Structure 1
Amino acid sequence: MTYVKTHVYTRISKTSQQEGSGIDEQLARIDAYIQSKPQQFQGEIQHWQDIGLSAFGNKNIIDGQLAEFIQHVEEGSIGKGHALVIYSLDRLSRRSSWDEDTIQKLVKAGVDIHDVSTPVVLKHDDPFSKIIMELIVQRGNNESKIKSERATAGWAKRLKDTLEHGKVFTKRLPHWLKVDADNNIVLVPEHVELIKRIFKEYTNGLSSPMIAKRLNDEGIKTSTGSLWRADTLTKLIKDERLRGNHVQFNDQTLIPNIFPVIIDSELFTIANRIRVQNVASTKGRPRESKNEKIINNIISGFVRCGKCGSKVTTSSNSVGDRYIVCKGRRNFEICTQKGVLLKRLERVVTTYAKQLDMSKIFSYEEVDTSLETKLQSELQSLEVDEKNCIAKIEQRKKEKKTASLALADALTDIQDRIEEVRKELQEVNVNEPLVAIENYNINDLLDPSKKELRMSLRKYLVQVLDKVKFRSIDDNILIEVVYTKDIFRHVLITDSKVSTVLHEISIVKEDGLIKYSTKGFSIIEDEEAGTCTFKGLDSVSVEDYFLLANYMDSVEGKRWIIDYMHDPLNVEAVLSN
């Protein structure tokens, strides 16, 4: 029989098999087979090929060129008088049952299938085709199973040799490692130092785009000689091999102690918690100026309009001064709040914000793996998980699905751990008093060109601050700083230009006591005992005293303290100052 048309199909599961024993061998064997039967194969030859598609899950039948071939068979454009020549039946399908009807469907449509490796021909009118197909495919399956078992056994032996004798586990090493002449894994020093620098800068607050830009500006290339990109850095920060782990491909199980440790586990964990938090952050991240290598706005994402609650943006005037402007006023004209000068608001927040550890901010060249930093990174990661979990629960409610017990349990566990971490942080704060800002040069923190120092400041601002609100009151500006923990209220009243702080009011919880303070005067409340004591009553100004009393009036349940402040004896003492 002379075929109207001959079709040749080849397939390999891995792209690495394109040469040698893969595609080349299949094509060579098929070509020799066709040349040996010139009377049958006189018609046109059409080639079909799938690269990197497995036949175990019928990936080639679903997505590959074989799927297209089958579609032509189903439509009738390929059928009786056509031949399909393949290296082996397992190139079409790995399933051994005749009920898996891919091969059967082709044969029933009149297509003769030539298996070159056997060689046999499956034909519609041949009663032995079913038996032949079962035997050939089963043979292919058995060979694959043997290969898989051998590969698993070999993998297990390599793992044992690595763990017990320190032998090289795999020749496919990351770029910071290599094999020496004695078959030992050794470090590539220049790559290791660069990785450590990247982790230091990233955990210090620099974003991936900033680090990538800096490396490219310095002419430092990646291991492949290309420019750095943000996603390249993110991939590197996630690479478990840096802390010695091998990740199993099939189930992502971590196997420790396979590679030399480049980044210790604590720093690796902190960096990856920062990475997750950055992705989900609602506070945004400072950006580097395109024209100048400076960072203009270190409080980006924190600030809100205190009058209407809107988010803010920045704008520059004719002389280049940058202002924080309410979006409600700028975009919708629904707010009357005027803008404030960015650099002055930055100065006030940095100078007066509580809980900022200046010693850590200024030691940005050192890697911070302190207990507080580890707890803060864990807390931020947990808060992201909490937010995502709540969003999933709310989504199920909207879709009117039944409540998920697993989600509810997960949320409870997350919130329990958040509470534990916050308590641990409070203990750290008590045991490690902060260094006063007066010991440091505030101008360095406010210099836009000092990028690393400013990003270090930003890192700790993120850990401490929740929001900064500003609004006008008569001829003054009221700035309210909202913290992530411990501090109930913190209000700064400045002049109209935000150049001078006129009054400061804070309500802080420390050591189980609540401290209400303003300019040298404070009230210490012991909630458990139901008492309060005054400090500085003989020196406080009338304005500061009654300003604190008026502001405390907004705190629920503290009317009894305000009444005590208005006691005639206390008022008389203040008026006599």
Structure 2
Amino acid sequence: MKKLKAHAYMRISKINQRDGSGLEEQRSRIDKYINENSVLFDSNIRYWEDIGKSAFTGRNMRDGELSKFIEEVNAGSIGAGDALIIYSLDRLTRRSSWEEDMIPMLVKKGVEIHDVSTPIVLKRNDQMSKIIMELIVTRAHNESIIKSERSIAGWNRRLKDTLEKGAVFTRKIPFWLNVIDNKYIINKEKVDVIVRIFDYYSNGLSSTMIARRFNEEGIKSMAGSLWRPNGITKLIKDERLRGYLRRSKDNELIPNIFPVIIDEKLFDMANRILKKNAKGIKGRPRENNKTREVNNILTGMLRCGKCGARVTTSKNGRGVRYIVCLNRKNHEICGEKSVRMQELEHLIIMHAQKIDLAKIHSYIQGDVSNEDLYKDELLDLEEDEKHFLAKIKERKNEGKVASFILINGLVEVRNKIEEIKQKIKDIGVHEEIPEIKHDHIEELMDPSNVDLRMTLRKFLTQIVDIITIRNIDNKRLIEIIYHSDVYRHILITDKNCSNLEQEIKIINDNGVIIYSTNDFSIELNENTGEYTFHGIDKVKVTAYYLLINYMTGLKGTSKIIADMHNNSHMVINNGL
């Protein structure tokens, strides 16, 4: 008689059952059974193991080793002449017998199932096999229901004690907590480190910078080892820091389980920044390993104005840093000239719109204002808006109508954007921007002031989308594109970016578009189409025609441009 090919299957639903009476016990019982019945089985045994896979939920059949066994049965490589040997049938399934169809399927395909604990054998030609199988599976299913009900009842009882009495909910406590007399006690030393992490990260420092700083200070990680960047990001995402427990069964967040270490505002802000960094929305500045300086805070925002490529930095023999187009540096296909980084950075800091430089100094002291929270939230929403628009465009290109879910999602996001914009505007009405001192600028330009510079970068990324640089004759043309309100902002300087010669701004102020350059401006009411010139008698010829040039092609400006060419407006200063 030809011997059966033996397949030994073991399963445990929890990883901590690996030792003791778990896998070892099942394997020893199966091996003993095979040895005692060696006349039936081939000595070449194939072992299958599922660890941490529940049979009550059927997970072992969906993504475990058992699922692979079933695939081979369906493919025909396992069938008649094979035997599946298990400790007991409940290792295969604990589902209700009314729902169970996996065991009958295996038997119908010719696989013999040997339950060594009963012991019984389920065979295709044995009429009693199905009845025996249903009795065993039903018993196992009922046992699982009872265990589940007891577990839920115990979980709810512990939750009630935690919420009402402040009792310890779980013995799996976070690193920053201790337990005394069934109460959570905060480990102040570790909590102080965690608070520093959130302050640093919300101020713009990267997880790599924070980890390096702690390691240099000799501060141990929560596990007592060196800090790693991924350890920083894991802590930032840990819901337990704001008092929540994430239930593993359904991923539900349960509040008020642990003491609150980080408040909601700071936690949300840090996680929004983390989300943006994970998406790679903007490049991250690097800290020099030797000097511990941050040299380029504009990284990720800068583009070549000639070819549109990203830029990089390089140093000359005197150590002066320059911004260079990547297409020029790597491929020599762009002739755009390089520009000194320090002068460009100074120009952006001094002239970028809506940067409250004084706030940067207060921000590193832990001031998390509502305005900054709203601006970070606005960036998130604008990314969501782009996602919805891209999906709608994709369906349109495929000749399909955008789904209700997409349209509704876009409407909701846009409504939220308008709501957040209004909140930011309301704050701006009541806040007075203080005068900026010269020494503040000097501090921000100093590469060794890492905290200040990374905080400045955070503020820049909140308002600035892209900065392009282009050389025209002996002039530099820098265009700043903002996330909102300011349509265009053009700075025209000398070739070294050291002197600002002209400045053109196109701004939307609550439905009134303002086109301006130096002392001259035009205000256009979007609703009525009416426009007004201001400072026509002061404007210089160069500035006047520069503004015409940048208004050309913009929606709703043709009438204004025609009027600007009218001779009645040509009584302007002939000075350049």
The answer to whether structure 1 residue 553 and structure 2 residue 548 are counterparts is yes
Mapped to 2, the partners of 1:64 and 1:516 lie a distance apart of 65
- After superposition, the C-alpha distances for 1:252-295 in whole angstroms (9 at most, x for unaligned) are 22221111111111111111122222233443221223444221
Q: Residues 45 and 150 (structure 1 numbering): CA distance in 2 closer, same or farther, change over 3 Å?
A: farther
Mapped to 1, the partners of 2:344 and 2:77 lie a distance apart of 76
Mapped to 1, the partners of 2:424 and 2:457 lie a distance apart of 19
Q: Residues 475 and 139 (structure 1 numbering): CA distance in 2 closer, same or farther, change over 3 Å?
A: same
Mapped to 1, the partners of 2:309 and 2:246 lie a distance apart of 46
| Shift of residue 105, structure 1, vs aligned partner | 3.1
The answer to whether structure 1 residue 109 and structure 2 residue 106 are counterparts is no
| Shift of residue 179, structure 1, vs aligned partner | 0.9
Q: Is the 8 A contact 1:507 1:516 kept in 2?
A: yes
SS at match of 1:363: helix
RMSD of equivalent CA atoms: 3.6
Q: Is the 8 A contact 1:430 1:511 kept in 2?
A: no
Give the corresponding residue for 2:173: 173
The answer to whether structure 1 residue 379 and structure 2 residue 374 are counterparts is no
Q: Residues 530 and 20 (structure 1 numbering): CA distance in 2 closer, same or farther, change over 3 Å?
A: same
Q: Residues 235 and 98 (structure 1 numbering): CA distance in 2 closer, same or farther, change over 3 Å?
A: closer
Mapped to 1, the partners of 2:535 and 2:313 lie a distance apart of 42
The answer to whether structure 1 residue 100 and structure 2 residue 101 are counterparts is yes
The answer to whether structure 1 residue 16 and structure 2 residue 16 are counterparts is yes
Q: Residues 176 and 399 (structure 1 numbering): CA distance in 2 closer, same or farther, change over 3 Å?
A: farther
Greater mean deviation of Cα atoms: 55-64 or 304-313: 55-64
Greater mean deviation of Cα atoms: 448-457 or 504-513: 504-513
Q: Is the 8 A contact 1:509 1:515 kept in 2?
A: yes
Q: Residues 407 and 200 (structure 1 numbering): CA distance in 2 closer, same or farther, change over 3 Å?
A: same
| Shift of residue 90, structure 1, vs aligned partner | 0.8
Mapped to 1, the partners of 2:197 and 2:542 lie a distance apart of 49
- After superposition, the C-alpha distances for 1:494-515 in whole angstroms (9 at most, x for unaligned) are 2222222234444555587666
| Shift of residue 203, structure 1, vs aligned partner | 0.7
Amino acid at match of 1:137: V
Mapped to 2, the partners of 1:84 and 1:203 lie a distance apart of 56
The answer to whether structure 1 residue 264 and structure 2 residue 259 are counterparts is no
Give the corresponding residue for 1:141: 141
SS at match of 1:199: helix
Amino acid at match of 1:255: I
Give the corresponding residue for 1:472: 471
The 5-angstrom pairing of residues 125-274 of structure 1 reads 126-180=126-180, 182-274=181-273
| Shift of residue 79, structure 1, vs aligned partner | 5.7
Give the corresponding residue for 1:52: 52
Q: Residues 332 and 78 (structure 1 numbering): CA distance in 2 closer, same or farther, change over 3 Å?
A: closer
| Shift of residue 61, structure 1, vs aligned partner | 4.8
Q: Is the 8 A contact 2:60 2:66 kept in 1?
A: yes
Structure 1: any 5+ residue segments left out of the alignment? none
Amino acid at match of 1:115: V
| Shift of residue 485, structure 1, vs aligned partner | 3.0
Greater mean deviation of Cα atoms: 193-202 or 438-447: 438-447
- After superposition, the C-alpha distances for 1:460-496 in whole angstroms (9 at most, x for unaligned) are 1111222322223332223233333333443333222
Mapped to 2, the partners of 1:110 and 1:523 lie a distance apart of 86
SS at match of 2:226: coil
Give the corresponding residue for 2:319: 320
| Shift of residue 145, structure 1, vs aligned partner | 0.7
Q: Residues 396 and 490 (structure 1 numbering): CA distance in 2 closer, same or farther, change over 3 Å?
A: closer
Mapped to 2, the partners of 1:98 and 1:352 lie a distance apart of 70
Mapped to 1, the partners of 2:390 and 2:212 lie a distance apart of 35
Q: Is the 8 A contact 1:312 1:324 kept in 2?
A: yes
Mapped to 2, the partners of 1:114 and 1:99 lie a distance apart of 17
Q: Residues 386 and 73 (structure 1 numbering): CA distance in 2 closer, same or farther, change over 3 Å?
A: closer
SS at match of 1:548: helix
Mapped to 2, the partners of 1:462 and 1:404 lie a distance apart of 33
The answer to whether structure 1 residue 420 and structure 2 residue 419 are counterparts is yes
| Shift of residue 168, structure 1, vs aligned partner | 1.2
> TM-score, structure 2 length as denominator?
0.86
Q: Is the 8 A contact 2:79 2:109 kept in 1?
A: no
Mapped to 2, the partners of 1:503 and 1:84 lie a distance apart of 83
Give the corresponding residue for 1:392: 391
> TM-score, structure 1 length as denominator?
0.86
SS at match of 2:484: coil
Mapped to 1, the partners of 2:281 and 2:74 lie a distance apart of 54
Q: Is the 8 A contact 1:112 1:124 kept in 2?
A: no
SS at match of 2:282: coil
Amino acid at match of 1:203: S
Give the corresponding residue for 1:486: 485
Q: Residues 85 and 515 (structure 1 numbering): CA distance in 2 closer, same or farther, change over 3 Å?
A: closer
Give the corresponding residue for 2:452: 453
Q: Is the 8 A contact 1:203 1:367 kept in 2?
A: no
Give the corresponding residue for 1:303: 302
Amino acid at match of 1:310: A
Amino acid at match of 1:552: L
SS at match of 1:553: helix
Give the corresponding residue for 2:349: 350
Mapped to 2, the partners of 1:246 and 1:86 lie a distance apart of 37
| Shift of residue 204, structure 1, vs aligned partner | 0.4
Mapped to 1, the partners of 2:483 and 2:476 lie a distance apart of 23
Mapped to 1, the partners of 2:357 and 2:189 lie a distance apart of 32
| Identical aligned residues as a percent | 45
